[in-house]
């Protein structure tokens, strides 16, 4: 029996080491991952804006609403995010100004346009 004790003890040790251990800080870790994703999305959206949209929107060229101008963005966003993204992709020529399709950059994806609009309109906030 002395020879069997180590043989039996090893599988028990192995099995017990494979059971999930509740991490006390798991909720904090989950929150920090979520914050990291939110911060990354904000930074990416801001970078898209800076690369493709700022040249018109920073100065309000051709009626472009400036980032942070919540009164103007609230009016434009009244029909919803999908509607303003569609106008941004298709282009706009009307009473409030002019915008070429995709801001003049045909390589922008719908996702990039959506993120830039979300950034400019204030839907995305830094964490």
**Which CATH number belongs to the domain containing residue 56 in this structure?**
1.10.760.10
The pLDDT of residue 24: 47
CB atoms under 10 Å from CB of 44, counted, come to 16
Task: Using alpha carbons, select from 123, 29, 14 the residue that is nearest to residue 68.
Answer: 123
pTM of the model: 0.70
Residue 9 clears pLDDT 80, i.e. is over it: no
Q: Is 16 inside any structural domain?
A: no
Q: Is 110 inside any structural domain?
A: yes
Inter-residue long-range contacts of 83-87, CB under 8 Å, 24+ positions, other chains counted: 84/117, 84/121, 85/110, 85/113, 85/114, 85/117
Residue 53 clears pLDDT 80, i.e. is over it: yes
Residue 15 clears pLDDT 80, i.e. is over it: no
Q: Is 80 inside any structural domain?
A: yes
Distance CA 74, CA 91 (A): 19
Residue-wise pLDDT tens digits, 60-85: 999 999 998 999 999 999 999 999 99
């Amino acid at each position: 029996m002395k020879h069997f004790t180590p043989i039996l003890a090893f599988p028990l040790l192995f099995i017990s080491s494979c059971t999930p251990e509740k991490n006390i800080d798991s909720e904090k870790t989950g929150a920090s991952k979520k914050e990291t994703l939110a911060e990354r999305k904000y930074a990416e959206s801001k970078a898209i804006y800076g690369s493709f949209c700022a040249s018109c929107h920073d100065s309000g060229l051709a009626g472009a609403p400036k980032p942070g101008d919540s009164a103007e963005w609230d009016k434009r966003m009244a029909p919803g995010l999908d509607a303003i993204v569609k106008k941004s992709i298709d282009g706009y020529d009307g009473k409030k100004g002019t915008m070429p399709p995709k801001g003049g950059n045909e390589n922008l994806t719908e996702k990039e346009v959506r993120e830039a609009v979300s950034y400019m309109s204030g839907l995305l906030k830094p964490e």
